[in-house]
Structure 1
Amino acid sequence: MSSPEETARLNRLMSVVDGLRDEMTASLQELVRIPSVSPKYPGIEYKDHVGREGEATALLTDLYRRAGASVDVFAVEEGRDNAIGRIGGKGGGNSLIFNGHVDVVPGGDPAGWAKAPPFSGEVIGSRMYGRGTTDQKSGLVAQAYAAIALREAGIELGGELQLQCVVGEETGDHACGTGAVVERGYVADAAVVSEPSAPPTPLSIVVASPGLLWFSVTVEGKKVHGSMRGATVHPAHSGDLIGVNAIDKVFLVYRALRALEDEWARTQRHDLWYNGHFSLLPGAMRGGPGDLTVPFALSDTATIEYGVMYHPERSPEDVTAEIQAVIDRAADADPWLRDHRPHCEWKLNWDPFVTSPDDGISQSVAGAYRTAAQGTAFSDQPSYTGLYGVCDATVFTRTGVPSVVFGPGDLRVAHGNDEYVDLDEVWLAARTYAVLATRWCGTASPVS
């Protein structure tokens, strides 16, 4: 139970956060209007986008300094600045990291955005629209304003609070972002990553994520004039002596992996996710006769790019071996693929993270949320969930820093047209971060 002194301190602190709400919205709008697309995102030109992350980081840097932090700005690649704001503790408390990424995915075709242009930051009702509103500039701004509120409320912390604004998360470029931050020595007793933590409920507490694999599977065919289609697919004719359509053959692999996906829905289950969340997404496909995209010859190559979300209790080696075995069995069953084996290229593994709901940081976030949400339109009972996607919490847990995800926004609208964030969630997140900092780090200031 809180003492009267702590209750007075927290009420004053939350009142200061409430008074900063309009400024918080304005800062978020300014940040969203910077198109800080990750320059390494597939399909875009690096030179056209490099430097915009740095512009966005500069805005956060100003907020960190306003909070009284000493700021270390550094880049692994020029123009891609990370910023670490350190608010030194007076002693006797735990240290804490508030982490978020400033890079976003491309905005896409503006014509596909019905509510507002992708980098407008337009506010309609209680929502702000724009790329990065949910994923995840709103979390960064809420964390920064929580720290500003601590200063304006005259609260000094016992342990150090780090405000981390990083680049490269959207492409798993940890070497330029959070990984580089950790290598630079910025670790703490716990970390809160401000990715959008809904669904299932707004501002859930995320204590685990799936693992992510990205691989491609390519099959070869034999190019021949399109008029030979019938002769190549019917056994009464010459078949693969004349030609083989690679697109037909890659679908044999697709069907085998689709069956594995159905099997996972029955066997790969976890209490924090709905049944069927762990999946194999055929997210992109290409094929054709050479570089042509006309249907007048049999395709001599076909490739499917897969994104795999796997169970957090499995190793990437185990999942890779299972997928490869399924592809091999599909190849063994087909005369052409038996002699012309599908080729897999394993491009990325992003490990899962797991933190117990009973861990100290999990419980501290839950308690801070209860306090911050009391008397609001939100439920004051926290919910625990698994992240639908992946995030930089993995980098921290890999180095022994217990981490959770807690932030405004809903992953179901991230990366899509008309991405938005509910500004009430941004406000409540800032309240929660501020309360959390006082409880986790402790306070060293008298009550006025």
Structure 2
Amino acid sequence: MPSSKENRDALVRLDKAIAEHASDAERLLVDLVGVPSVNPLQPGVAVGKYNGGESRANELFGEWLRDAGMETHVVEADPGRANLVGVRRGSGGGRSLGINAHIDTVAPQQGRFEDPWKAERVGNLLYGLGTTDMKAAHAAAWLAVKALNTTDVGLTGDLHIHSVVGEETMSHGIGTTAVLEAGFGVDAAIIPEPTSSDDELFRLANTAAGNYLFSLTVPGKSTHWASRNLAIRAGGGGDTVGVNAIDKAFYVYTAMRQLEDQWAFSKRHPQFPPGAFIIHPGVLHADIGFPAAPYFPDRARFDYLLSFPPGDTSEQIRTEVESHIHAAAALDPWLAEHPIEFEWIDTWPPAYTDPTSEFARVALSARNEVAVDLGTPALDTPQPNGAQSDASFYEAQGIPALVCGPGNLLVAHAADEYVDVDLIPAAARMLVRTALGWCSEG
């Protein structure tokens, strides 16, 4: 490893180069925003409307990476949705570092500006779809590599940039996981997802809750609305007349709330506050196949999204939820004979990297040096992240991964998404410090 004086001299030169090329990094961000790279599997997106956008954005990014001295590779696990890998080879013997940024965005919304793909600058804020989540990270990663290249500061380990598709719909099998399985594994990874806000810049996260998107369908039995008294009052025929699926759905909803209340005590993690893990009902729909108030609906569907702590697996959570609801349903004569149907749609495993690990110490030191320069207090230890990221899929392959980036999570996915452009060179400074501390060690 270079001496402390050599490192300090290198950082002075790197910081100067970052400042000199910061305007170029902003121009890169403007250009990337200008390429619609909406994830084609986003809810509400017309089939085929955005096909190929991710690949076009990565083609553009590849040109910039090659200009910064990186070799580039394409990994295309799903035709038309190409990942990009940039590699800066080390001199040998050092540990490798990956910088991961997803190129896909959510669907556009109507905001203050007419064109979501035309970046608009207001003061230090650059507005546009994908600025915070997370094309500013691409600009910062490029700026870090450009500085390393122009100053000729060497690393003994390889430095990778993984620009991946599919993150917004957890399609890691064609994105991050596909890149790793294609032979571009690294010894550690940093994901510059948005972790900055007005109150705290560059929050460094080592853990995030898992989540599971699922639905359950509660069966009913249709009949005329005027028969409700016969279906629910003493002296009537009860279930033989009809069963309103909405009534049964609220029975199931109550059981799910009971489970959520139990989780406030049973689902714990030392890095999360009590009650952090929830079971959120997002959609309820009931009918007979079409909206018709004069009928008993014969099916009701809930769409839920839940969160769970590191240490639990998606399989364990699935079993726990189904067992609880089936036990509640067994106490209801109708539901005991007419099972609730579950559909487990997507799950994001929890993220967890040991906060005392060497990589965490290196990244935390890099973050603190930059954050303190910006007037943000130093952190004693990494913190939980407020959102999921592809860190989970590095960790699934035994690769420590941390999250720290320039954007503000509160404006990610918002109609008026923006990023403070001053945070792009600051993020680049954090990335080069992490690379020097990690990739220069044997």
Answer yes or no: same fold by TM over 0.5. yes
Write the distance in 1 (CA, Å) between the matches of 2:217 and 2:258: 19
Write the distance in 2 (CA, Å) between the matches of 1:322 and 1:89: 47
Amino acid at match of 2:4: S
Write the distance in 1 (CA, Å) between the matches of 2:372 and 2:207: 26
Write the distance in 1 (CA, Å) between the matches of 2:423 and 2:378: 13
Is residue 17 of structure 1 aligned with residue 8 of structure 2?
A: no
Does the Cα contact within 8 Å between 2:30 and 2:119 map onto a contact in 1? yes
Partner residue of 1:343 out of 329, 341, 344 = 341
**Other structure's SS at 2:152 match:** coil
1:346 CA drift (Å): 1.8
Amino acid at match of 1:259: Q
Amino acid at match of 1:3: S
The number of residues matched between the two structures is 440
Give 1:66-145 correspondences, 5 Å limit: 66-108=67-109, 110=110, 113-114=111-112, 117-145=115-143
Amino acid at match of 1:435: R
Residue 205 of structure 2 corresponds to which residue in structure 1? Answer: 206
Write the distance in 2 (CA, Å) between the matches of 1:285 and 1:440: 49
**Other structure's SS at 2:377 match:** coil
Residue 363 of structure 2 corresponds to which residue in structure 1? Answer: 365
1:114 CA drift (Å): 4.0
Change (3 A) 1:311 1:374: closer
Residue 8 of structure 1 corresponds to which residue in structure 2? Answer: 9
Write the distance in 2 (CA, Å) between the matches of 1:281 and 1:419: 25
Residue 225 of structure 2 corresponds to which residue in structure 1? Answer: 226
Is residue 61 of structure 1 aligned with residue 92 of structure 2?
A: no
Does the Cα contact within 8 Å between 1:63 and 1:145 map onto a contact in 2? no
Larger deviation, residues 279-288 vs 145-154:
279-288
Residue 298 of structure 1 corresponds to which residue in structure 2? Answer: 296
Partner residue of 1:311 out of 298, 309, 312 = 309
Q: Could you report, residue by residue, the CA deviation over 1:155-205 in whole angstroms, capped at 9, with x for unpaired residues?
A: 122111011101011112122111110111111111111222357833111
Give 1:335-414 correspondences, 5 Å limit: 335-381=333-379, 384-414=382-412
Is residue 155 of structure 1 aligned with residue 156 of structure 2?
A: no
TM-score (norm 2): 0.93
Write the distance in 2 (CA, Å) between the matches of 1:304 and 1:141: 40
Write the distance in 2 (CA, Å) between the matches of 1:438 and 1:373: 17
Is residue 321 of structure 1 aligned with residue 319 of structure 2?
A: yes
TM-score (norm 1): 0.92
- Share of identical aligned residues, percent? 35
Larger deviation, residues 239-248 vs 356-365:
239-248
Change (3 A) 1:116 1:383: farther
Amino acid at match of 1:202: L
**Other structure's SS at 1:27 match:** helix
Change (3 A) 1:26 1:235: farther
Does the Cα contact within 8 Å between 2:355 and 2:381 map onto a contact in 1? no
Write the distance in 1 (CA, Å) between the matches of 2:346 and 2:128: 28
Residue 50 of structure 1 corresponds to which residue in structure 2? Answer: 51
Larger deviation, residues 325-334 vs 143-152:
325-334
Write the distance in 1 (CA, Å) between the matches of 2:19 and 2:255: 54
Write the distance in 2 (CA, Å) between the matches of 1:126 and 1:258: 44
Write the distance in 2 (CA, Å) between the matches of 1:282 and 1:166: 30
1:443 CA drift (Å): 9.2
Amino acid at match of 1:229: R
Write the distance in 2 (CA, Å) between the matches of 1:410 and 1:173: 23
Residue 256 of structure 1 corresponds to which residue in structure 2? Answer: 255
Which structure 1 residue ranges, 5 or more long, are not aligned?
A: none
1:89 CA drift (Å): 0.6
- What root-mean-square deviation, in Å, do the aligned CA atoms of Structure 1 and Structure 2 show? 2.2
Amino acid at match of 2:97: L
Amino acid at match of 2:244: N
Write the distance in 2 (CA, Å) between the matches of 1:119 and 1:62: 20
Write the distance in 2 (CA, Å) between the matches of 1:270 and 1:248: 36
Residue 176 of structure 1 corresponds to which residue in structure 2? Answer: 174
Write the distance in 2 (CA, Å) between the matches of 1:101 and 1:86: 16
